[in-house]
């Protein structure tokens, strides 16, 4: 099993994001601190895995939506190889389903890009100390929806078709099911998401990270 090399003086950070401005922003904040240092950057999930192997950072800040390999798959791959890796998701998406997916993949922290600088630094220090970090509003969303019924894979497939504007007949044809089955799925989707129509269903599902639009 691989082990990290720890620098007792500074928390070594790897930033993974396909937006240069975000990486520059993190670098600008970290370089002023005496207890942290930025040891590397990556622009996609595949690069993140390589950079992690090479640098063995103490804490990794990981975006979710990236080209080539997305953040969740990169987290899974890194944690498989390095079970002790401490990865904080840094994303624009507050959806409870997306957050839960990232945490199940092995992330130990979850932050929104709109978060205040102090919160990001607190999260890095907390995670480095071996604890988890989850903003209260996201923890609440996860808790609220945990007791509800999750959408099935087929229901999500129907919802993706709805999101691109397909009518029931087109959805039925594409998924090789009957019109009545599509209507049944939609009824279940509306009930599970607590909505009254297709537009609301797509909006809520996107907000929660169930589908990408």
Q: Residue 107 and residue 60: Cα distance in Å, rounded?
A: 10
Q: Please say if the pLDDT value at position 95 is more than 90.
A: no
pLDDT digits over 152-199, tens only? Answer: 889 989 999 999 999 999 999 999 999 999 999 999 999 888 888 999
> Nearest to residue 186, comparing CAs of 206, 210, 167, 212?
167
Angle at 157 between CA 151 and CA 162, to 5 degrees: 100
pLDDT digits over 36-88, tens only? Answer: 999 999 999 999 999 999 999 999 999 988 888 999 999 999 999 999 999 99
CA distances from 170 to 52, 166, 167, 182, 194 (A): 45, 6, 5, 10, 25
Residue 31 burial by Cβ neighbours in a 10 Å radius (0-12, 13-18, 19+): exposed
Task: Name the CATH code of domain 11-144 (choices 3.40.1390.10, 2.40.30.110, 3.40.50.1110, 3.40.50.2300).
Answer: 3.40.50.2300
Task: Work out the pLDDT band at 145, boundaries 50, 70, 90.
Answer: low
Encode the chain in three state secondary structure.
CCCCCCCCCCEEEEEECCCHHHHHHHHHHHCCCCCEEEEEEECCHHHHHHHHHHHCCCEEEECCCCCCCCHHHHHHHHHHHCCCCCEEEEECCCCHHHHHHHHHHCCCEEEECCCCHHHHHHHHHHHHCCCCECCHHHHHHHHHHHCCCCCCHHHHHHHHHHHCCCCHHHHHHHHCCCHHHHHHHHHHHHHHHCCCCHHHHHHHHHHHCCCCC
pTM of the predicted structure, to 2 decimals: 0.71
Average pLDDT, the chain: 87
Q: Which two tokens stand for residue 119?
A: 């919160």
What is the domain partition of the chain in residue ranges? Answer: 11-144, 153-208
Q: Beta strand 59-62 with 109-112: parallel, antiparallel or unpaired?
A: unpaired
Q: Please say if the pLDDT value at position 1 is more than 70.
A: no
Q: What does CATH list as the number for 153-208?
A: 1.10.10.10
């Amino acid at each position: 099993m691989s082990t990290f090399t720890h620098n007792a003086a500074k928390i070594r950070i790897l930033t993974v994001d396909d937006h240069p401005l975000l990486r520059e922003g993190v670098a600008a904040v970290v370089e002023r601190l005496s207890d942290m240092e930025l040891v590397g950057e990556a622009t996609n999930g595949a690069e993140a895995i390589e950079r992690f192997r090479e640098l063995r950072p103490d804490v990794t800040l990981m975006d979710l939506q990236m080209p080539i390999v997305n953040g969740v798959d990169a987290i899974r791959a890194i944690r498989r190889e390095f079970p002790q890796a401490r990865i904080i998701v840094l994303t624009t998406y507050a959806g409870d389903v997306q957050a839960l997916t990232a945490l199940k993949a092995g992330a130990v922290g979850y932050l929104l890009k709109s978060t205040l600088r102090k919160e990001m630094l607190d999260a890095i220090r907390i995670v480095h100390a071996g604890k988890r970090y989850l903003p209260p509003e996201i923890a609440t969303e996860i808790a609220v929806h945990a007791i509800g019924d999750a959408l099935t894979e087929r229901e999500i497939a129907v919802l993706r078709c709805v999101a691109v504007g397909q009518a029931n007949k087109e959805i039925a044809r594409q998924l090789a099911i009957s019109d009545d089955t599509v209507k049944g799925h939609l009824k279940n989707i509306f009930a599970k998401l607590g909505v009254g129509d297709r537009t609301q269903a797509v909006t809520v599902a996107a907000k929660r990270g169930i589908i990408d639009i």
